Structure 1
Amino acid sequence: MAVPLDYETLRLIWWALIGVLLIAFALTDGFDLGAMALLPFVARNDLERRMVINTVSATWEGNQVWFILGGGVIFAAWPYVYAVSFSGFYLAMFLVLAALILRPVGFKYRSKRPDPAWRARWDWALFAGGLVPALVLGVAVGNVLLGAPFRLDGNLRTFYEGSLLGLFSPFALLAGLLSVAMLVMHGAGWLAMKLEPGPVQHRARQYGAVAALAAVALFAAGGACVAWGGLGFRMAEAVDTGGPSNPHLARAVTAPGAWLNNFAEHRWMMTAPVLGLFGPVVALTGLRGRRDALAFVGSACAVSGIIATVGLSMFPFILPSAIDPASSLTVWNASSSQLTLFIMLVVVLVFLPIVLAYTTWAYRVMFGRVRAEEVRLNPDLY
């Protein structure tokens, strides 16, 4: 079957689409995670906690679709990456999934009994369901920047030589804390926009302002670590960008500071770190000035910029290897076949607009502030 798009273009399209899906997940399910991570701090009684929970009750299930789509796309478009990352990071992924499973259970069971102790336990489960994924996913990104401890033999069998505790290195923890600060800021912006004026909204703004300052500081610290900490990989030789997918066809080597090379060579890429630094400033301005829509837009820009910075800095690498750089997986050596990528692209062009249209319609219909009186009187709310 003749494919109208060349292999290199299809690989670039799918690399960009993975980035779009990850950003979409962080923008949508990210504010759910951030709001639940703030639950014990912004809400002081049962009514206030119900108000916070009901800001995300109508959308959290739909938001998780982007997480599932991201995993599905990695499986179909980058099978080597899926095999190495999901097997090597298995325990970390299990920890994330276990925490995410707590969310639906917490939402559904919390209001089944009026007992304060019963509800308090589920509130802490919801808190864990928000904090743990935000932290561990950030730690995972930090380990990707450092390089994962895996190697491939001559038959492309994977040997992973890391451990769960080994994932939590200082730089990885820095990335995890940045992820938490970023999503807490985003969740605070959502709460400020969705809650009626009152003490809960005020506390959300206060915590969101602290998270915004932390996001700026941690993002800058991460950039300094990359620049002066010797992080980075590069290709040792010219790559056939339209050649077959085989990690052994082109070698990669460690190159301290190489993660910044793309920004020097392609100035337009600087848009991402600029958004990552100034987005939290905009969010902070909105939170302190009680301009809730501006705060949410600022946090969304920050989330998009920080994630895009990681992807653009690493290109063409997707998953480098710290113990055997020659086994590193890139856009050019780890993709599915040209025909597979084209068929998937056709499917995406058909169905993604439908998903986006439905999501937009759902948010429009369910938009509005959560009010204490409505939560108190409506038995259908959590």
Structure 2
Amino acid sequence: MILSELISLDVLRVIWWLLLGVLLIGFALTDGFDLGVGALLPFVGKTDTERRVAINTVGPVWEGNQVWFILGGGAIFAAWPPLYAVSFSGFYLAMFAILAALILRPVAFKYRSKRDGHAWRNGWDWALFVGGAVPALIFGVAVGNVLQGVPFQLNDMLMPLYPGNFFIKFISLLNPFALLAGVVSISMLMMHGAAWLTLKTEGPVQLRARAIGSVAGMVAFVTYILAGVWLAFGIKGYTITSVVPDNGPSNPLFSTVEHGGSWLSAYSDRPWIAIAPILGLLGIALATMGLRAGREGSTLLLSKLGIFGVISSVGLTMFPFILPSSIQPDASLTVWDASSSQQTLFVMLVVTVIFMPLILAYTAWVYKVLWGKVTAEEVESDSHSY
């Protein structure tokens, strides 16, 4: 027996759907507070020293945290090639904006302290704000559009096509529901960044982070509920109406998809998935209360719980859909028809089983070594700090 046949294709597809979720959630939990701190930077730090304190809470770890984003993109490319092709084509300008912001962020980290001028440092501080706020917003906007369906087609050669004017299509991505999802995303990550600053700082920076973070948490809580209600009553869902062979070929056109009904019908089919939005709301609410009360470690953990619940709720609600098509529903990409081959998924799984524990162990060790608060005295006396 060939080793790759030890696990059936349908099981491998579900495993890699779960692993993709793990990578995206891992990115949100780690680099999410980096983005949140960047978005908060001009508001929690009023002096140069205060801003340096905030920057140095994430300075030693942001590069390692961003690896989760790279791993997620690599997993999409290798495990779900049609998803990579269709999404990166349809969201090209959005992806470019995210990458430009993520490129701007390390440049700002490295150049900010090279000169002492106020205008120089203030300009780079706003660059860090852009590098944090823009990706946090666009990630949510992208999720909002995915839930509505993306306007792509597949021809007989499975080549993705996006009919219509390029710039009009880009502007259409900024629709009200997608923008609401963007507000959920940026407010949630600002809350997460505030929870991190509460843990890692003290004094004025910590107090401002708590105040702003508690407001961001309330915004995230309310907008997440509004998005759920809108999704239930204003956004049509997608349903596979034909028999789909779980071990069949990766050809989306083999299935028949109906665009109608509600996404929330998934909760009547699989009631247990309701735990995800409950955890999302509970985590955000308790993290907000923790910020107001001044609790530190537990607040960050609860913030992570809220993010885990929110992101999980999207994936579980859409399953088995990964990227539905609004203009050609039968071309929608699902877990069952958009994956790589059985052998590819198996080899990737073996590599993941070997190296993922090493990555987690190394990450845990780094955080252990860097544990403790960042103080004004520390950054002023350390010539190597940002």
Q: Which of 282, 285, 297 in structure 1 is aligned with 2:286? A: 282
Distance across 2 between alignment mates of 1:368 and 1:255? 52
1:137-216 equivalences in 2 (<5 Å): 137-161=139-163, 163-196=169-202, 198-216=203-221
Aligned-partner residue type, residue 298 of structure 1: L
CA contact (8 A) 1:110 1:118 kept: yes
Q: Which of 236, 243, 251 in structure 1 is aligned with 2:241? A: 236
Aligned-partner residue type, residue 367 of structure 2: Y
Q: Which residue of 1 aligns with 2:269?
A: 265
Distance across 1 between alignment mates of 2:363 and 2:221? 30
Sequence identity of aligned pairs in percent?
57
Kindly state the Cα deviation for residue 231 of structure 1 after the two structures are TM-superposed: 2.4
Which piece of structure 1 moves more, 333-342 or 231-240?
Answer: 231-240
Question: What SS class does the counterpart of residue 233 from structure 1 fall into?
Answer: strand
Distance across 1 between alignment mates of 2:222 and 2:8? 42
CA contact (8 A) 1:77 1:341 kept: yes
Q: Which residue of 2 aligns with 1:255?
A: 260
Aligned-partner residue type, residue 303 of structure 1: I
Q: Which residue of 2 aligns with 1:110?
A: 112
Distance across 2 between alignment mates of 1:179 and 1:230? 19
1:363-374 equivalences in 2 (<5 Å): 363-374=367-378
Number of matched residues? 380
Q: Does 1:354 align with 2:358?
A: yes
Q: Does 1:377 align with 2:369?
A: no
Q: Which of 116, 123, 128 in structure 1 is aligned with 2:125? A: 123
CA contact (8 A) 2:81 2:338 kept: yes
Aligned-partner residue type, residue 364 of structure 1: K
Question: What SS class does the counterpart of residue 350 from structure 1 fall into?
Answer: helix
Which piece of structure 1 moves more, 155-164 or 288-297?
Answer: 155-164
The alignment's TM-score, normalised by the length of structure 2, stands at 0.97
Gaps of 5+ in 2: none
Kindly state the Cα deviation for residue 230 of structure 1 after the two structures are TM-superposed: 3.2
Q: Does 1:345 align with 2:357?
A: no
Question: What SS class does the counterpart of residue 261 from structure 2 fall into?
Answer: coil
Kindly state the Cα deviation for residue 214 of structure 1 after the two structures are TM-superposed: 0.6
Q: Which residue of 1 aligns with 2:228?
A: 223
Kindly state the Cα deviation for residue 374 of structure 1 after the two structures are TM-superposed: 0.8
CA contact (8 A) 1:194 1:368 kept: yes
The alignment's TM-score, normalised by the length of structure 1, stands at 0.98
CA contact (8 A) 2:148 2:235 kept: no
Q: What are the Cα deviations for residues 67-110 of structure 1, in whole angstroms up to 9, with x where unaligned?
A: 00000000000000000001111110000000001110000000
Kindly state the Cα deviation for residue 346 of structure 1 after the two structures are TM-superposed: 0.4
Kindly state the Cα deviation for residue 128 of structure 1 after the two structures are TM-superposed: 0.2
Question: What SS class does the counterpart of residue 206 from structure 2 fall into?
Answer: helix
Q: Which residue of 2 aligns with 1:42?
A: 44
Distance across 1 between alignment mates of 2:120 and 2:235? 49
Distance across 1 between alignment mates of 2:81 and 2:215? 40
1:76-91 equivalences in 2 (<5 Å): 76-91=78-93
Aligned-partner residue type, residue 223 of structure 1: G
Distance across 2 between alignment mates of 1:157 and 1:60? 37
Question: RMSD between aligned alpha carbons?
Answer: 0.9
Distance across 2 between alignment mates of 1:354 and 1:230? 42
Aligned-partner residue type, residue 99 of structure 1: A
Distance across 2 between alignment mates of 1:231 and 1:378? 56
Distance across 2 between alignment mates of 1:37 and 1:295? 19
Aligned-partner residue type, residue 36 of structure 1: G
Kindly state the Cα deviation for residue 250 of structure 1 after the two structures are TM-superposed: 0.6
Question: Which contiguous aligned blocks of 4+ residues in structure 1 show a shift greater than 4 angstroms?
Answer: none
Distance across 1 between alignment mates of 2:367 and 2:256? 46
Aligned-partner residue type, residue 66 of structure 1: W
Q: Which residue of 2 aligns with 1:56?
A: 58
Q: Does 1:300 align with 2:300?
A: no
Gaps of 5+ in 1: none
Kindly state the Cα deviation for residue 142 of structure 1 after the two structures are TM-superposed: 0.6
Kindly state the Cα deviation for residue 13 of structure 1 after the two structures are TM-superposed: 0.2
Aligned-partner residue type, residue 29 of structure 2: L
Distance across 2 between alignment mates of 1:68 and 1:317? 23
